[in-house]
Amino acid sequence: MLRKLTLFLLSGVFLLMLTSCWDSIELNRRAIVSGMSIDKDLSKDQKYTVSFQVVVADEISGKNSRGNSPVVLYSGSGRSLYEALGNASRKVARYLSLGHVRVIIISEELAREGISDIMDFLERDSGMRLSSLLFISRGQPAKDILSIITVFGKIPSSDLVQKLETTSKGFGFNFKVETDDVIRGIEAKGAGAIINGVVVSGDQESGGSKKNVEDIEPKAILRTSGLAVFSKDKLVGFLDGAEGKGTSRLYNKLQQHDSIIELGEDNVAAFNIFMVHTTVKANAKDPEHPIINISIGQQAGLKESSGPLDLTRAEVLRDLEKRLSEQTKEETEAAVKAAMKFKSDYLGFSEAVERDNPKGWKKVQDRWNTVFTRCEVNIKVKSVIRHTDMRTRSFQSKTGNKKGGSS
């Protein structure tokens, strides 16, 4: 008995010594991919051109830097994304590691034809992360977006991520959209995905060299541009201005932004809007004609006034709050009208209808994109001016000075 137990224990020890990762690759044999772009291939026998922005570790650390570019771009074409990946890998001396991809850029041309196959690859591949951020290159090849040398940060794809974070928390209406968010948008009944747009403004050729960051004014700048909206998996348009701001607000992603109120005679009041919260509910007793009730609450702070406003008077503040609410309502209405025009409920009204009347939803879910366009939408906005920064009464209200002269 003791002999059998000893043999069993020894066998266990030997088995532990033999365990290992059969497909392990040493770190110094990996090429870390930080960004990925997908374009439509121009040839007839290929479908995709995939480009990978690979980090040059020696140039990032600085210890063994040779003064070269901190990233390099490798491209490959194929009938499938996997084939394109394989063709690009043959140009690299190391194994392409996709586990650190932060951004994925898809060209507008390809997005208009449909992105279901692309999303299938991104979801299926074990090396990819569902938390990678997606962008649509607006009117430009997706490869061009990854070819720009940026001022802040040595890795361009990381610079784009930081710009998106700054925009979402400051003056813009763009917000993080991950791979998983896009897949869920495509899967929703009568809906579609929503993805941030991105463009390169300026001299594209100079943007790809170090000259772009050597001058005080960059020749080319990488920036977010609007929201790309989809009907199922096909791109149908872009939202800018009021439509984009209203859409972001309905997603509850608009953290803070600027708002300008015209006061007449070339005078305006500029506000910082913050603490924005939107609630969407439905009255779906009649599922064929549901009523969508949108409630928006927001707070504001006065940042600038070019007119002689007396902000110590309550009626002046109430009037400004009313104007802010009217402007917010107009932006939200513009966002709803845009979605109805595209016949795509990327705003998520279907979820509110399903919560209110699950049985009724089952009757209309297969034709929701049609029912959605005839929804009655009610919007209520409450704005509260919390502060006027360092002054309650402008010196202009005391002197009576107006823009362009004095009285």
Domain boundaries of the chain, sorted by first residue: 28-239, 241-407
Tokens of 56: 């040059």
| pLDDT for residue 26 | 61
- CB of 145 within 8 A of CB of 200? yes
Checking 40-48 for CB contacts under 8 A at 24+ apart, the result is 40/107, 40/109, 40/110, 40/113, 41/77, 43/77, 45/79, 46/77, 46/78, 46/79, 46/84, 47/78, 47/79, 47/80, 48/77, 48/78, 48/79, 48/80, 48/81, 48/84, 48/110
What phi and psi values does residue 21 have, to the nearest 5 degrees? -85, 115
Per-residue pLDDT of the chain (407 residues; tens, 9 = 90+): 677 667 767 776 666 665 556 555 665 667 789 999 999 998 888 899 999 998 887 676 666 666 677 888 999 999 999 999 999 988 887 788 888 899 999 999 999 999 999 999 999 988 888 999 999 999 999 999 998 888 777 788 988 999 898 888 877 789 999 999 999 999 998 899 999 999 998 877 777 777 777 778 888 888 999 999 999 999 999 999 999 999 999 999 988 888 999 887 778 899 999 999 999 999 999 999 999 999 999 999 999 887 777 788 889 899 999 999 999 999 999 999 999 999 999 999 999 999 999 999 999 999 999 999 999 999 999 999 998 876 766 666 565 555 544 43
Q: Tell me which residue has tokens 């823009």.
A: 403
| pLDDT for residue 405 | 42
| pLDDT for residue 266 | 78
| pLDDT for residue 29 | 64
Whether the model clears a pTM of 0.85, i.e. scores above it, the answer is: yes
**How big is the CA angle at 53 (ends 50 and 58), to the nearest 5 degrees?**
150
Confirm or reject CATH 3.40.50.800 for domain 241-407, answering yes or no: no
Q: Cα separation of 149 and 164, whole Å?
A: 17
| pLDDT for residue 250 | 96
Task: List, in order, residues 6 or more apart from 46 with CB less than 8 Å away.
Answer: 77, 78, 79, 84
- CB of 160 within 8 A of CB of 234? no
| pLDDT for residue 263 | 83
| pLDDT for residue 407 | 37
Q: Cα separation of 228 and 239, whole Å?
A: 6
